[in-house]
């Protein structure tokens, strides 16, 4: 995808000298202003060197917090496997993260067993309370901002900030630290595992003291070891709940009074989930999972202490571990793992009359209303509920929540089954306050080892001035419409609404932005520059949307999106569609195309129409597993139906709602829509049916019930893509598999073969040139002067041919370049393709050439070359042509001045070619005279240069990251003994990327000759391993290749 974004005039930028065209061209600062931005986007493979975050096992090892010095971006304190307390912080590295040890004032590393981070209500500063590994006692750290607004934040030890109460029993150590917020005041509950005594840590305002720790004279471990603890404080009363086996004990801790004996409040507990704030005088309630096989969620509270506990039991969630998070509105949210280690969430919708949480649920309501005593489940009129506990992330090994009561949650998730040095074993998941969309910020540490392959949406943005020239070194601001991590210029940044990164274009006037590709809807990016009024608005997946909508092609695919293309789709060498769904793919493709038509403001049209003329419009359509779909054969698992009236839609929906599995409508779905789309994308929410008319209805499985999602209108690209993901998920396990299928792959063997061909051609050309010049040099005296008449006659013919054609007509004479499907490829897609310029962009990345790496670089230059050059310069001086040459250049400047006029940007289109041809005729004449006069010097210079070139190209380049990348590319290409990086190798490898990618853009990723030679029929760059050298013969003859060369 390539586009140009024009800009309105704006004030001039300072510090940039105006360009001059010839001696008579007047400088005009207006032309030096940014005029437009050229954008090219691609879903493609990328490489990043990433290391693993070290996290110890067990609870209390991760403490998340929103850093106020970084505009609230999430970071963490982490206890490693060796017991070191570390700071997982954001940096400007390529991965964006660093894990550094926390140290005392004397530089000694801090060891810890557990850690929590809280915000102090006195001044909203952040504090960490940790249990030291050395003495087992609680200590405090304070987060300090960067010095003089520069440098990283640090955690500083404050010995005096936490004190122990004078009358407490002996404190051996602490464990099971649990955080509860009473409004904005944190309250920490813990246990001394040696004695079982309860300990509480609360905030005080007696500076420099900030926290006080009190150990209570009562043990919670008299009947067994304490396994989980949760506490809270309300109305001056501190409460602690402790789980011992299957029993939960409640401890009331009144200040200044004797501690009463605990009260048993549950005997069927499997996990203690957490506590929630009081909505009645009785105090803090709690939530736990019971021991039933389906793991019911039980909430317990007291209307009054004398009346005893009241509980609600929510059945069938199936969680085997869970944690409770309380938001800014004091509402509960339960996050937990099921037996398959899928991270799920259940949200609170309201409170009931007993001060217990009412969970978000789907409901079947009596329609029409009937008296409660006449409603029965069998007639579908009685009210029933299905708790809306939906999956978010699959295969989670552990997760940690930020306990601070914010509007939306943040959590650090560790995935199971991911290679530690791979794409992302750890990630920060944050939910957007407005859209409820989840963002995944991958936590990877910078390493200097072998890069890992990842998938990115890569956007290349070239800022052009008003002459159309790239603007190197131009400051630009990058932001996004939702929070997203970007990789740019060798560093990582977190950008979003109100968060931007200030960077500069590289020497080519370009900036390349990579974002994670784990869905079909990446964040929309904005690139702004001073003077570029509207900037560039980038949807990185626009080309993917065009392909799925049936209106575009992708470099990784042969032709357009069809049922056959989806049937043959592979990711990682394996099909993404199970053969049992093959008969259903036509309906999936039809629905996908109709959804994108609706997003474009059009009307859905029949995809079943086989008549003459345009397909007629339809009222709506549905795709899924509903029983009312007509199925041609029994093996059609997912049906497709088109509706021509509202009655047909009504009957179709009625058939679903009458199913015994139907669980009702999720009324507050829109409040948590981001959870559903995240689960659908990640393959942990199964889609049953998608029905689209004026308002869409999506039916999903929650447990063994079909739940209906309403209030969903397909009126934008965002809602269309969400619906498309739901449709595709009916036949594909995860959207990540679709992304892997659609991404452009690096054909490293092809690229390396092309590089070798370029090297061989370069050496052969130089050797032939030296031999030819040496052989014929003595016979060329007088030959150049004899060519003057021929050259002059040639230019006269050119004048006759181009007499009536302006300069700007040249581009129209080059035939359009097309791909294998016949679609025209824009020149910008060839010139700015992020995959073609991938290595070139890496070479211009800051840090690609480490400081001091070129100090010891020695170029192998023969002294004979200097002598040959001096002889050539002397001959030129003796020829007395310098003055004539200067006069011609002055005329050339006059011609160019006629091409560029601030008052008439289209002047070049109207200027005749005759003047330029006349100047070139005179230049050629001077050149022929010079060639004859300095023939022997030219021959000596060329031969000497060629003889020195081999040694020069073999010069080793100690470029650190580029050298490692050079070696890694060879490894990916199957080279067993990689070569060292040399000047010639880099010079040939950079264009090898461009030549290979452009070749495949024009000819497709699948070579006919390669296809005939492969019995396995593999498609794409995975199968095309033979290299561009197999097509060089066709490159010389085929018309498409000729057009490709012209465009390049």
Mean pLDDT of 495-501: 86
Mean pLDDT of 255-266: 84
pLDDT at 173: 92
Q: Would you say residue 656 has pLDDT above 90?
A: yes
pLDDT at 496: 87
Q: What does the block give as tokens for 237?
A: 């009363």
Mean pLDDT of 843-851: 65
Task: Report d(CA 333, CA 123) in Å as an integer.
Answer: 27
Task: Report d(CA 688, CA 325) in Å as an integer.
Answer: 30
Q: Would you say residue 830 has pLDDT above 70?
A: no
- E strand or H helix at 615: none
Label residue 725 by pLDDT band (50, 70, 90): very high
Q: What is the DSSP letter of 146?
A: P
Residue that the structure tokens 């693993």 belong to:
52
Q: Would you say residue 45 has pLDDT above 80?
A: yes
Q: Which of 32-36, 117-121, 173-177, 1024-1028 shows the lowest mean pLDDT across its residues?
A: 1024-1028
User: CA dist 500 to 97, 476, 696, Å?
Assistant: 17, 10, 35
Task: Report d(CA 113, CA 132) in Å as an integer.
Answer: 6
Task: Report d(CA 702, CA 864) in Å as an integer.
Answer: 81
pLDDT at 778: 60
Mean pLDDT of 183-196: 93
pLDDT at 775: 65
Q: Would you say residue 1040 has pLDDT above 50?
A: no
pLDDT at 375: 35
- E strand or H helix at 222: none
Residue 710 · residue 665 · CB < 8 Å = yes
Task: Report d(CA 399, CA 384) in Å as an integer.
Answer: 32
Question: Of 100, 115, 109, nearest to 61 (Cα)?
Answer: 115
Residue that the structure tokens 């498609």 belong to:
1019
Task: Report d(CA 799, CA 912) in Å as an integer.
Answer: 10
pLDDT at 782: 63
Label residue 421 by pLDDT band (50, 70, 90): very low
Structure-derived torsion over alpha carbons of residues 215, 218, 219, 223, reported in degrees to the nearest 10: -170
Residue 638 · residue 626 · CB < 8 Å = no
Task: Report d(CA 503, CA 509) in Å as an integer.
Answer: 12
Q: What is the 3-state secondary structure (H, E, C) of 273-340?
A: EEEECCCCCCCCEEEEEECCCCCCEEEEEECCHHHCEEEEEECCCCCCEEEEEECCCCCEEEEEECCC
pLDDT tens figures, 144-162: 998 776 778 999 999 999 9
Mean pLDDT of 998-1015: 52
**What average pLDDT does the chain have?**
80
Label residue 975 by pLDDT band (50, 70, 90): confident
User: CA dist 835 to 42, 755, 841, 874, 899, Å?
Assistant: 8, 15, 10, 46, 34
pLDDT at 1009: 37
- Residue 95, phi-psi category: left (phi > 0), alpha (psi -120 to 50), beta (remainder): alpha
Beta pairing, strands 211-219 & 162-164: parallel
748 or 725, greater pLDDT: 725
Question: Of 162, 598, 802, 666, nearest to 387 (Cα)?
Answer: 666
Q: Which of 141-145, 584-588, 630-634 shows the lowest mean pLDDT across its residues?
A: 630-634
Domains of the chain: 2-48+450-532 (2.60.40), 50-415 (2.130.10.10), 544-742 (no CATH), 748-858+955-1047 (no CATH)
Q: Is the peptide bond before 368 cis (omega within 30 degrees of 0)?
A: yes
**Residues 6 or more apart in contact with residue 1012 via CB below 8 angstroms:** none
Q: Would you say residue 749 has pLDDT above 80?
A: yes
User: CA dist 628 to 40, 582, 654, 802, Å?
Assistant: 44, 20, 10, 69
Q: What does the block give as tokens for 229?
A: 């603890």
Question: Of 362, 241, 371, 383, nearest to 301 (Cα)?
Answer: 241
pLDDT at 642: 94
Question: Of 35, 30, 37, 36, nearest to 16 (Cα)?
Answer: 30
- Residue 585, phi-psi category: left (phi > 0), alpha (psi -120 to 50), beta (remainder): alpha
pLDDT tens figures, 690-721: 999 988 899 999 999 999 998 788 888 899 99
Task: Report d(CA 855, CA 857) in Å as an integer.
Answer: 6
Residue that the structure tokens 């309201």 belong to:
350
Sheet with 185-191, side-by-side order of all strands: 162-164, 211-219, 197-203, 185-191, 175-182
CA angle 511, 515, 517 (to 5 degrees): 140
Residue that the structure tokens 């259903």 belong to:
584
Residue 577 · residue 585 · CB < 8 Å = yes
pLDDT tens figures, 358-405: 999 998 865 444 444 333 333 444 456 899 999 999 999 999 999 999
pLDDT at 248: 96
Task: Report d(CA 654, CA 329) in Å as an integer.
Answer: 38
pLDDT at 667: 86
pLDDT at 861: 60
Q: Which of 293-302, 774-783, 867-876, 963-972 shows the lowest mean pLDDT across its residues?
A: 774-783
**Residues 6 or more apart in contact with residue 983 via CB below 8 angstroms:** 952, 953, 954, 955, 957
Sign of CA dihedral 539, 39, 532, 839: positive
348 or 169, greater pLDDT: 348
pLDDT at 988: 83
Q: What does the block give as tokens for 988?
A: 């040939």
pLDDT at 1005: 63
pLDDT at 25: 40
């Amino acid at each position: 995808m390539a586009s140009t974004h024009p800009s309105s005039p704006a004030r001039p930028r300072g510090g940039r000298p105006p360009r001059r065209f010839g001696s008579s061209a007047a400088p005009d600062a207006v032309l030096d202003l940014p005029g437009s931005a050229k954008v090219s986007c691609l879903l493609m493979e990328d490489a990043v060197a990433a290391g693993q975050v070290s996290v110890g096992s067990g609870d209390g090892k991760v403490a998340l917090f929103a850093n106020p010095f970084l505009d609230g971006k999430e970071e963490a304190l982490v206890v490693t496997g060796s017991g070191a307390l570390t700071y997982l912080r954001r940096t400007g590295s390529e991965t964006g993260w660093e894990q550094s040890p926390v140290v005392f004032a004397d530089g000694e590393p801090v060891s810890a067993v557990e850690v929590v981070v809280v915000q102090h209500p006195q001044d909203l500063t952040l504090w960490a309370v940790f249990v030291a590994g050395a003495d087992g006692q609680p200590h405090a750290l304070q987060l300090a901002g960067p010095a003089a607004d520069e440098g990283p934040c640090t955690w500083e030890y404050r010995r005096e900030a936490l004190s122990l109460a004078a009358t407490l029993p002996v404190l051996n150590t602490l464990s099971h630290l649990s955080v509860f917020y009473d409004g904005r005041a944190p309250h920490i509950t813990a246990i001394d595992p040696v004695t079982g005594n309860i300990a509480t840590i609360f905030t005080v305002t007696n500076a420099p003291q900030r926290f006080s720790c009190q150990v209570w004279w009562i043990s919670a471990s008299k009947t067994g070891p304490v396994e989980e603890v949760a506490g809270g404080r309300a109305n001056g009363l501190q409460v602690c709940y402790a789980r011992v086996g299957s029993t939960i004990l409640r401890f009331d801790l009144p200040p200044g009074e004797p501690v009463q004996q605990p009260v048993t409040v549950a005997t069927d507990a499997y996990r203690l989930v957490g506590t929630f704030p009081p909505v009645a005088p009785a105090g803090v309630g709690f939530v736990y999972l019971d021991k039933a096989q389906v793991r019911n969620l039980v909430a317990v509270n007291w209307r009054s202490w004398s009346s005893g506990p009241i509980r609600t039991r929510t059945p069938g969630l199936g969680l085997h571990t869970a944690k409770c998070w309380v938001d800014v509105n004091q509402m509960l949210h339960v996050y937990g793992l099921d037996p398959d280690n899928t991270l799920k969430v259940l949200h609170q919708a309201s409170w009931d009359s007993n001060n217990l949480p009412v969970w978000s649920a789907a409901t079947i309501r009596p329609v029409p209303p009937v008296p409660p005593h006449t409603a029965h489940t069998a007639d579908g009129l009685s009210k029933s509920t299905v708790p809306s506990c939906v999956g978010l992330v699959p295969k989670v090994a552990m997760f940690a929540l930020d306990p601070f009561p914010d509007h939306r949650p943040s959590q650090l998730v560790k995935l199971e089954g991911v290679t530690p040095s791979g794409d992302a074993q750890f990630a920060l998941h944050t939910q957007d306050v407005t859209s409820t969309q989840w963002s995944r910020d991958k936590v990877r540490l910078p390493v200097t080892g072998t890069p890992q392959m990842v998938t990115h949406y890569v956007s290349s943005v070239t800022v052009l001035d008003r002459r159309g020239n790239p603007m190197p070194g131009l400051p630009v601001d990058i932001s996004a419409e939702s929070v997203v991590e970007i990789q740019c210029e060798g560093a990582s940044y977190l950008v979003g609404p109100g968060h931007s990164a200030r960077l500069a274009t590289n020497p080519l006037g370009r900036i390349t932005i990579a974002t994670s590709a784990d869905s079909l809807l990446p964040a929309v990016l904005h690139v702004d520059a001073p003077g570029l009024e509207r900037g560039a608005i980038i949807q990185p997946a626009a080309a993917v949307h065009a392909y799925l909508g049936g209106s575009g092609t992708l470099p990784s695919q042969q032709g357009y999106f069809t049922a056959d293309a989806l049937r043959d789709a592979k990711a990682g060498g394996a099909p993404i569609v199970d053969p049992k769904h093959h008969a259903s793919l036509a309906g999936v493709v039809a629905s996908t195309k109709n959804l994108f038509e609706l997003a474009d403001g059009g009307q859905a049209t029949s995809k079943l129409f086989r008549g003459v003329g345009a397909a007629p419009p339809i009222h709506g359509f549905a795709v899924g597993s509903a029983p009312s779909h007509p199925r041609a054969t029994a093996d059609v698992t997912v049906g497709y139906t088109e509706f021509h009236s509202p009655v047909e839609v009504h009957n179709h929906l009625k058939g679903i709602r009458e199913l015994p599995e139907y669980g009702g409508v999720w009324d507050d779905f829109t409040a948590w829509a981001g959870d559903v789309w995240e689960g659908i994308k990640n393959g942990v929410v199964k889609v049953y049916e998608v029905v689209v008319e004026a308002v869409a209805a999506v039916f999903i499985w929650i447990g063994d019930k079909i739940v209906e999602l309403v209030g969903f209108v397909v009126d934008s690209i965002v809602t269309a893509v969400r619906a498309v993901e739901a449709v595709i998920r009916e036949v594909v396990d995860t959207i990540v598999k679709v992304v892997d299928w659609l991404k452009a792959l690096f054909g490293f063997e092809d690229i390396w073969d092309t590089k070798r061909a370029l090297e061989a051609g370069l050496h052969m050309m130089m050797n032939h040139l030296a031999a030819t010049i040496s052989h014929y040099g003595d016979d060329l005296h007088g030959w150049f002067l004899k060519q003057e008449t021929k050259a002059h006659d040639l230019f006269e013919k050119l004048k006759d041919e181009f007499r009536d054609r302006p300069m700007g007509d040249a581009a129209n004479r080059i035939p359009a370049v097309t791909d294998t499907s016949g679609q025209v490829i824009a020149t910008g897609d060839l010139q700015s393709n992020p995959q073609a310029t991938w290595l070139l962009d890496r070479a211009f990345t800051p840090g690609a050439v480490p400081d001091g790496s070129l100090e010891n670089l020695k170029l192998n230059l023969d002294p004979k070359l200097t002598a040959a050059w001096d002889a050539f310069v002397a001959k030129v001086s003796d020829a007395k042509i310098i003055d004539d040459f200067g006069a011609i250049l002055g005329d050339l400047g006059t011609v160019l001045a006629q091409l560029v006029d601030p008052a008439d940007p289209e002047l070049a289109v109207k200027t005749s070619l005759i003047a330029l041809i006349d100047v070139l005729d005179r230049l050629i004449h001077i050149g022929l005279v010079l060639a004859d006069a300095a023939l022997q010097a030219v021959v000596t210079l060329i031969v000497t240069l060629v003889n020195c070139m081999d040694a020069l190209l073999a010069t080793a380049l100690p470029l650190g990251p580029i050298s490692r990348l050079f070696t890694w590319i060879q490894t990916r290409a199957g080279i067993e003994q990689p070569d060292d990086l040399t000047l010639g190798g880099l010079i040939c490898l950079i264009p090898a990327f461009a030549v290979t990618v452009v070749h495949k853009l024009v000819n497709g990723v699948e070579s006919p000759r390669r296809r005939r030679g492969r019995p396995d029929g593999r498609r794409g760059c995975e199968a095309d391993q033979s290299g561009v050298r197999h097509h060089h013969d066709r490159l010389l003859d085929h018309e498409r290749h000729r057009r490709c060369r012209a465009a390049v």
